[in-house]
A and B are shown apart, each in its own frame.
Chain A
Amino acid sequence: MTVALRDTPVTPDVVAAHGIRADEYDRIVELLGREPNFTELGVFSLMWSEHCGYKYSRALLSEFPSTGPQVVQGPGENAGAVDVGHGFAVVFKMESHNHPSAVEPYQGAATGVGGILRDVFTMGARPIAMLDSLRFGALDDPHVRYLFRHVVRGVGDYGNCVGVPTVGGEIVFDDAYAGNPLVNAMCLGLIRHEDLMRASAAGPGNAVYVLGASTGRDGIHGASKLASTELSADTVESRPTVQIGDPFTEKLLLEATLELIESGAAVGVQDMGAAGLTSSSSEMAARAGTGIEIDVALVPRREPGMTPYEVLLSESQERMLVVARPDQEPALMAIAEKWDLPCTRIGIVTDDDLWRVLEDGEEVCRIPVAALVDEVPRYVREVQEPSYLAEVHGSMPDPDEIARIDPLAALEGLLSAPTIASKRWVWEQYDHHVQTNTILGPGPAGAALLSIKGTPGALGVSTDGNGRYVYCDPRRGGALAVAEAARNLATVGARPLGVTDCLNFGNPEKDAVYFQFAEAVRGIAEACRAFDAPVVSGNVSFYNESPKGAIYPTPTIGMVGLLEDVEARPRGGGSPGDSLILIGRDGAHLGAGSLLAEVLGIVAGRAPAVDLDAERRHAEIVRELVRGGVAVSAQDVSDGGLAVTAAETCFGLPAACGIEIELPEAEGGPHGAMFGEDGARYLLVVPAERRDLARQRLDSGAVPWREAGRVTSDGRIRFRDVGERPREELERRWRNAISDRMETMEDER
């Protein structure tokens, strides 16, 4: 079988089964000056896949701003990095593990966390925090509960074991994700500038090592589109595509990697992620402008009888590729031994620009490095606006229908909708304190706040993205994801420094999906420019479709910001008599919003308009009020509008407190003001004695604002002239919506 596989003739059928187009094949022949053999074909199919090669997305991604004085490392490395002062930089990236999580939610999520951790510590940075951005179908579906429960457990178990706190994230439940959940994980690491390591295979004559776990047949289908029919049935059957995570080995690998980078025992380090040995070795060579030669027979295996093809394409977890000079080898081996990790020499850096693979000295592949890495086809497609958009925009419900909705019943419904309800059930399963940097963890604020030890500053970090907005309005939706992240940072006093993203879309070969992608990217790019937040890393995940259709186009944005002085952080609290100040205008925009989706069950209208100038100015003033201690806390107004924001603000106040909100007069009823999701808005808690200070500051700032209400002592949530509910009752719904479902309803695999 081994021989049969290797000698499989490369017929047009085999080429097509590898997802390679005829014109692409011709290009391969041209680059090689001959026909590829079967193994080489597999390598091309991986490296030229969207997953590794970004053939549909690269051209568009170049629209992102990626430079700025704070950028220490832009896109192109394992992760990006921005300066946070005092000689430190923060390294960060976000990545998806959607398909693996759909097949095996626990392992899929766990290995997703493992992968993104490696991207960060490969750069020499110690991971200090994780965030997870998740999308599932509706929680009433027992299979969705199964996926949700096990994804959360997988994220938690992996991060908890490695000892990196999961400090934030987001979760949306919507039927659009029923067949295809999204699991995006973001990791941040801290590093001194001079320790930053780049993944390059420099110095011909240097040796190449595999450090860490042995190689099995895991995930061989992972990154490519291999059609199983072309491989004999029994190979496919015996080939587990699910990767099993081993967080303990990851922890050892983390410590060993940081130690070897710090002690200067390596020239370059690269983790083996998608497409394993193939992409890690060719990319390291490409970055250094060298060649590389590897003998697969030397790679430690977990299973007997693996072919070169399998060794090259395996996605076994917890492995690193290390390049070291001969004089570094003893130190490298000593570190590996200290951490009980195998470290094996498998090849050498060459000066011939070739990616050569041997098996027991016999040549298996011989491909110019550039052909694999730089010659990936790039497609830019011209597509029309899909017709569904006009339909969605035109289908807003009648104002009468909205006017008939009982606003307080709607508020109850929104607070108990799992998307809006408290996520405590999730984040209590995540260690969010380890490493003792967590000033604000999940729960109290829209963004997490982490101290940067060794500096007086703190990092704010948030992930955001609203797929429904992007579906209704791709460009606005993209910009709104960035705007919401920036708002969340402003509420903890942090100024944006940089962005990472994970672009989850359907099949880009479909016109509508490509249109959504291109427009969302434009929206993101515009907003990032407005906030001075360059995109320094990211990830694209296409083909998120199931028999039920494509998911909502869902770019998630991970934004990192700086609060220069941790003493200026928001202190929280509040007491009766405090003012609630609304920054921004009163709401009116219900299109594409939560009221329609969660209460009426419809998706209609346009997403809220984006005013980037207002976003920037309002964020600035919120930061100033928070940092000066004028406001003790701030919440941005997002899903569910002012009403939901007010309720959530109330839940953050001491137990006996209530709130009272005044709404502007409006013809069609209070719905727009209560549930409108217009942007650039915040609700601030300002102690009574600082009210005048706030007023002065706001009046001189040319920012629309009003005193929208106050903190009361009667434990009720009241909307003047509309009605009220006991806080206790609303809070119970909000607190228990997810846990009740998860504790009393059964799952089904």
Chain B
Amino acid sequence: MSGVPIGIVRFPGTNCDQDVFDAVAAIDGARPVWLWHKETALGGVRGIVLAGGFAYGDYLRAGAIARFSPIMDRVIAFARSGGPVLGICNGFQILTEAGLLPGALMRNAGLSFVCREQWLRVDSTDTPFTRHFRPRQLVRFPVAHGEGNYVADDETLDRLEGEGRVVFRYVDEAGEATPLANPNGSARNIAGIADERGNVVGLMPHPDRAMSLLVGSQDGREVFRGLLEAAA
């Protein structure tokens, strides 16, 4: 099989691995490759996705244990060298635990798991994953998580906003970031953020579940198309 190899990390308990695999496979020119958490080499992949799910059952804290899997040292080095890394849901939690993204994801403010269709506003198109969107475009990705309440101190939040690193925000149908549109209590309705260079992005909603009109939205395709281009 040819195509640009995109690595999908499988931790014990990851459960959106196949969804991400299918999403990557759906993009012409991309080739999904499994990366088992016990591996210590990346096997030449050009981009990496940390998929959603419940690595180690989310026991203790979401992402806390997975962050120490052997492969994570390589992922961290890859990210620091500028390689594109996308963390979706549990993957976002792992990226914050690993210190690749600032802040933390706490238990949802409503204390319940929440699964719903969600409108998002693309607040930064300066990342490889969002460059195909228009600034402030509304997209629909489902959310499904119990610990997605993004927190950081005010200084960090101000910096993220000032540097244009808030990538996605939870909004209503009209594009307004209202409290009602916020599914989990995240600070400033933040749904996804980028690191300083923009090559590492984490978000709670699932672009991998928005790949076909059969399931209600195909807005997620652009995210994976961007990933492929950055990896190529």
A and B part of one assembly: yes
Interface residues of A (CB under 8 A from B): 153, 156-157, 160-163, 246-249, 251-252, 339-340, 427-439, 451, 566
Q: List 19 A-B contacts (CB under 8 A).
A: A157-B113, A163-B54, A248-B13, A249-B57, A251-B12, A251-B54, A252-B13, A427-B115, A428-B114, A429-B112, A429-B114, A429-B115, A430-B113, A430-B115, A431-B113, A433-B142, A433-B209, A436-B212, A566-B214
Q: Determine if B116 is an interface residue (Cβ-Cβ < 8 Å).
A: yes
A431→B206 CA distance, assembly (Å):
12
A252 nearest in chain B by CB position: B12
| Residue in B19, B56, B57 whose beta carbon sits within 8 Å of that of A434 in the complex | B19
Check A435/B114 contact, CB under 8 A, given A163-B53, A248-B13, A251-B12. no
Chain A residues, CB < 8 A from B19: 434-436
Quick one: CB contact mask for B204-215 with A, threshold 8 Å, 1 for yes?
001011011011
Check A160/B56 contact, CB under 8 A, given A428-B114, A428-B116, A434-B16. no
Check A436/B22 contact, CB under 8 A, given A160-B146, A431-B115. yes
A160→B12 CA distance, assembly (Å):
15
Chain B residues, CB < 8 A from A163: 15-16, 53-54
Q: Do B15 and A251 touch (CB < 8 A)?
A: yes
A743→B16 CA distance, assembly (Å):
31
Chain B residues, CB < 8 A from A434: 15-16, 19, 52, 144, 209
Count chain B CB atoms within 10 A of each CB in A162, A428, A431, A451 and give the residue with the most: A431
Q: Do A433 and B215 touch (CB < 8 A)?
A: yes
Quick one: CB contact mask for B1-34 with A, threshold 8 Å, 1 for yes?
0000000000011011011001000000000000
Check A248/B214 contact, CB under 8 A, given A163-B16, A430-B115, A436-B209. no
Chain A residues, CB < 8 A from B53: 163
A164 nearest in chain B by CB position: B15
Chain B residues, CB < 8 A from A435: 18-19
A251→B55 CA distance, assembly (Å):
10
Chain A residues, CB < 8 A from B12: 248, 251-252, 339-340
Check A431/B54 contact, CB under 8 A, given A248-B13, A251-B12, A436-B211. no
- B interface, over-half SS: mixed
A251 nearest in chain B by CB position: B13
A608→B64 CA distance, assembly (Å):
56
A160→B147 CA distance, assembly (Å):
13
Nearest-CB distance from B219 to chain A (Å)?
Answer: 14
A451→B212 CA distance, assembly (Å):
12
A247→B12 CA distance, assembly (Å):
12
Count chain A CB atoms within 10 A of each CB in B59, B115, B116 and give the residue with the most: B115
Chain A residues, CB < 8 A from B13: 161, 248, 251-252
Chain B residues, CB < 8 A from A248: 12-13, 54, 56-57, 59
Chain A residues, CB < 8 A from B146: 157, 160
A73→B225 CA distance, assembly (Å):
43
Chain B residues, CB < 8 A from A429: 112-115
A429→B211 CA distance, assembly (Å):
23
Chain B residues, CB < 8 A from A437: 215
A247→B15 CA distance, assembly (Å):
12
Q: Determine if B176 is an interface residue (Cβ-Cβ < 8 Å).
A: no
Top 4 closest A-B pairs, CB basis?
A163-B15, A248-B57, A431-B144, A161-B54
Q: Do B54 and A160 touch (CB < 8 A)?
A: yes
Q: Do B144 and A160 touch (CB < 8 A)?
A: yes
Nearest-CB distance from B94 to chain A (Å)?
Answer: 15
A437→B57 CA distance, assembly (Å):
23
Chain A residues, CB < 8 A from B115: 160, 427-433
Interface residues of B (CB under 8 A from A): 12-13, 15-16, 18-19, 22, 52-54, 56-59, 112-116, 142, 144, 146, 206, 208-209, 211-212, 214-215
Q: Do B57 and A247 touch (CB < 8 A)?
A: yes
Chain A residues, CB < 8 A from B22: 436
| Residue in A246, A433, A436, A566 whose beta carbon sits within 8 Å of that of B57 in the complex | A246
A438→B19 CA distance, assembly (Å):
12
B110 nearest in chain A by CB position: A743
Chain B residues, CB < 8 A from A162: 15
A290→B132 CA distance, assembly (Å):
63
A437 nearest in chain B by CB position: B215
A428→B142 CA distance, assembly (Å):
11
Count chain A CB atoms within 10 A of each CB in B113, B146, B208 and give the residue with the most: B113
Nearest-CB distance from A636 to chain B (Å)?
Answer: 23
A743 nearest in chain B by CB position: B110
A438→B13 CA distance, assembly (Å):
21
B53 nearest in chain A by CB position: A163
Chain A residues, CB < 8 A from B59: 248
Chain B residues, CB < 8 A from A432: 115
A247 nearest in chain B by CB position: B57
A438 nearest in chain B by CB position: B215
A163→B16 CA distance, assembly (Å):
7
Chain B residues, CB < 8 A from A247: 54, 57
A241→B94 CA distance, assembly (Å):
36
A157 nearest in chain B by CB position: B113
B209 nearest in chain A by CB position: A433
Chain A residues, CB < 8 A from B113: 156-157, 160, 429-431
Nearest-CB distance from B22 to chain A (Å)?
Answer: 7
A439→B142 CA distance, assembly (Å):
13
Nearest-CB distance from B69 to chain A (Å)?
Answer: 12
Nearest-CB distance from A415 to chain B (Å)?
Answer: 22
Nearest-CB distance from B149 to chain A (Å)?
Answer: 16
Nearest-CB distance from B127 to chain A (Å)?
Answer: 24
A431→B54 CA distance, assembly (Å):
12
Chain A residues, CB < 8 A from B18: 435
A157→B113 CA distance, assembly (Å):
8
A424 nearest in chain B by CB position: B116
A339→B56 CA distance, assembly (Å):
11
| Residue in A157, A246, A430, A439 whose beta carbon sits within 8 Å of that of B215 in the complex | A439
| Residue in B58, B114, B215 whose beta carbon sits within 8 Å of that of A436 in the complex | B215
Chain A residues, CB < 8 A from B16: 163, 434
A157→B115 CA distance, assembly (Å):
12
A249→B54 CA distance, assembly (Å):
11
Chain A residues, CB < 8 A from B54: 160-161, 163, 247-248, 251
A251→B15 CA distance, assembly (Å):
9
B12 nearest in chain A by CB position: A252
Nearest-CB distance from A652 to chain B (Å)?
Answer: 15
Beyond A160-B144, A160-B146, A436-B211, 20 additional contacts (C-beta under 8 Å) are A161-B15, A161-B58, A163-B15, A163-B54, A247-B54, A248-B57, A251-B12, A339-B12, A428-B114, A428-B116, A429-B113, A431-B113, A432-B115, A433-B142, A433-B206, A434-B19, A434-B52, A436-B22, A437-B215, A439-B215
Nearest-CB distance from A252 to chain B (Å)?
Answer: 6
B57 nearest in chain A by CB position: A248
A428→B59 CA distance, assembly (Å):
22
A431→B19 CA distance, assembly (Å):
14
A429→B113 CA distance, assembly (Å):
5
Nearest-CB distance from A423 to chain B (Å)?
Answer: 13
Count chain B CB atoms within 10 A of each CB in A157, A163, A252, A566 and give the residue with the most: A163
Nearest-CB distance from B62 to chain A (Å)?
Answer: 11
Chain B residues, CB < 8 A from A252: 12-13
A431→B12 CA distance, assembly (Å):
19
A382→B100 CA distance, assembly (Å):
72
Nearest-CB distance from B12 to chain A (Å)?
Answer: 6
Chain B residues, CB < 8 A from A439: 214-215
B23 nearest in chain A by CB position: A436
A438→B116 CA distance, assembly (Å):
13
A318→B113 CA distance, assembly (Å):
23
Chain A residues, CB < 8 A from B144: 160, 431, 433-434
B59 nearest in chain A by CB position: A248
A163 nearest in chain B by CB position: B15
A386→B189 CA distance, assembly (Å):
61
A717→B16 CA distance, assembly (Å):
42
A122→B161 CA distance, assembly (Å):
50
Chain A residues, CB < 8 A from B58: 161
Nearest-CB distance from B139 to chain A (Å)?
Answer: 16
A478→B29 CA distance, assembly (Å):
55
